[in-house]
């Protein structure tokens, strides 16, 4: 994946988490996944991408981090469970992150659309990609926990430059 495609995601996720959680997350070292399927934390939010770039973005985090983020968004002291409202709040974060990244991509001439987010919860979640699609990971640390943004996108043959 070209760096010019990654930068809008890095900017978007840091900006959105800072705006919603109230503190700027610390970005870890970006890395390339080398094993598929890969394991995620207890909560994964998936958003598909189509257009000049196609694939998926998976934002994953532990259950406590997910509850913490959702509680802040729902203006609650804390959450006992990740109910439908909490899951909707997390889906909205993924929607905002990916939508803002597509705006950044459009500024460099790369037109993309996104699918509605899906929230998946459970232990030992595994995510697969097509064999030729590599996954870049942006790790983020916050007071309330760790978040990984997994970006698995490729240029589509129809639009490849």
Residues 50-89: tens digit of each pLDDT: 999 999 999 999 999 999 999 999 999 889 999 999 999 9
CATH number of 3-155: 3.40.1550.10
Domain ranges within the chain, ordered by starting residue: 3-155
Q: In the prediction, which pLDDT does 159 show?
A: 54
Give the model's pLDDT for residue 131.
73
- Residue 93's alpha-carbon distances to 86, 127, 140, 159, in angstroms, are 11, 20, 14, 28
pLDDT tens digits along 10-43: 999 999 999 998 989 999 999 999 888 889 999 9
What local confidence, expressed as pLDDT, does residue 36 receive?
86
Q: 13 preceded by cis ω (within 30°)? A: no
Q: What is the pTM of this model?
A: 0.92
CA 126, 130, 132, 137 dihedral sign is negative
Q: Six-digit token pair at 1? A: 């994946």
The pLDDT tens digits of the residues spanning 97-154 come to: 999 999 999 999 999 999 999 999 999 899 988 777 889 999 999 999 999 999 999 9
pLDDT digit string, tens, across residues 42-51 = 999 999 999 9
Cα→Cα distances 65→44, 78, 108, 140, Å: 12, 11, 33, 12
d(CA 7, CA 141): 18
**145, 101, 150: which is closest to 127 by C-alpha?**
150
């Amino acid at each position: 994946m070209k760096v010019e495609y990654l930068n809008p995601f890095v900017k978007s996720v840091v900006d959105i988490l800072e705006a919603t959680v109230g503190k700027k997350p610390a970005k870890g070292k970006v890395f390339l996944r080398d094993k598929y399927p890969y394991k995620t934390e207890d909560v994964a939010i998936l958003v598909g991408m189509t257009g000049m770039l196609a694939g998926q973005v998976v934002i994953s985090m532990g259950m406590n981090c997910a509850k913490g983020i959702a509680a802040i968004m729902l203006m609650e002291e804390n959450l006992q469970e990740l109910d439908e409202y909490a899951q909707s709040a997390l889906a909205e974060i993924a929607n905002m992150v990916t939508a803002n990244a597509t705006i950044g991509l459009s500024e460099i001439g790369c037109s993309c659309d996104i699918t509605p987010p899906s929230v998946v919860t459970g232990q030992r979640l595994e995510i697969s990609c097509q064999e030729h699609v590599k996954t870049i990971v942006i790790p983020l640390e916050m007071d309330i926990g760790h978040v990984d943004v997994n970006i698995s996108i490729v240029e589509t043959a129809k639009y490849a430059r």
